[in-house]
């Protein structure tokens, strides 16, 4: 349990800024993810038309970033939530890029997931701040090794999801 002195200090701009960032990213992803999971046809674009399990894969992806977003909003197990968001958003950006093979023509379909992925990396590396469930239990910052491994795991998860869903190399 954290000491009482730890919470007698006034909140800093960093704590408030991290709260705003976590909540903005988390609510955006929860809202979008839940609408994709429960939509009738919207989720099909996340999967592969040639795969029999595309619907399931798309729902799992949307569920993953919804859960990751919820973890970010609460600030609970923040690096895990950030890793889920990072992997999901990198997959979404790669998928959008693969449709046009041109970064500039892909527009916001690539840019927005990349911005969310960058925000997830920042949250993983900086930590949730004191205004969070993690902060309440003395985890305003996670160990460097945990943060670094989860950033790498986020990239690995995006590659693994691509290979599982599309069956091809995402770099080809």
Which residues lie below 8 Å from residue 37, measured CB to CB, with a gap of 6+?
A: 43, 59, 62, 63, 66
Return the pLDDT at 97. 82
- State the burial class of residue 65 (Cβ atoms within 10 Å of its Cβ: 0-12, 13-18, 19+): buried
Cα separation, 18 vs 79, in Å, equals 13
Residue percentage of the chain with pLDDT more than 90? 51
Q: Is residue 8, in this structure, part of any structural domain at all? A: no
Q: Note the pTM of the prediction, 2 decimals.
A: 0.84
User: Is 61 among the domain residues?
Assistant: yes
Residue 120 near residue 86, CB atoms below 8 Å = yes
**Does some domain include residue 5?**
no
Q: Does 140 fall in a domain?
A: yes
Decide: 147 and 80 in contact? Cβ < 8 Å.
Answer: no
Range of the domain at 29: 14-166
User: 12-39, pLDDT tens digit by residue?
Assistant: 899 999 999 999 999 999 998 888 777 7
* Domains of the chain: total: 1
Is position 91 within any domain? yes
Q: What number is the average pLDDT over the span 70-99?
A: 92
């Amino acid at each position: 349990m954290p000491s009482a002195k730890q919470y007698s200090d006034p909140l800093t701009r960093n704590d408030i800024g991290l709260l705003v960032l976590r909540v903005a990213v988390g609510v955006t992803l929860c809202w979008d993810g839940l609408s994709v999971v429960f939509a009738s046809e919207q989720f099909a674009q996340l999967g592969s038309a040639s795969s029999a399990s595309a619907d399931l894969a798309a729902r799992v992806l949307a569920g993953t970033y919804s859960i990751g977003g919820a973890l970010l909003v609460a600030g609970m197990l923040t690096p895990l939530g950030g890793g889920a968001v990072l992997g999901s958003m990198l997959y979404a950006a790669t998928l959008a890029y693969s449709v046009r093979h041109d970064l500039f023509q892909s527009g916001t379909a690539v840019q927005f997931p990349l911005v969310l992925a960058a925000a997830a990396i920042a949250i993983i590396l900086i930590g949730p701040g004191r205004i969070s469930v993690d902060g309440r239990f003395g985890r305003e910052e996670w160990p460097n090794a945990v943060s670094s491994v989860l950033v790498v795991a986020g990239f690995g998860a995006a590659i693994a999801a691509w290979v599982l869903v599309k069956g091809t190399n995402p770099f080809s």
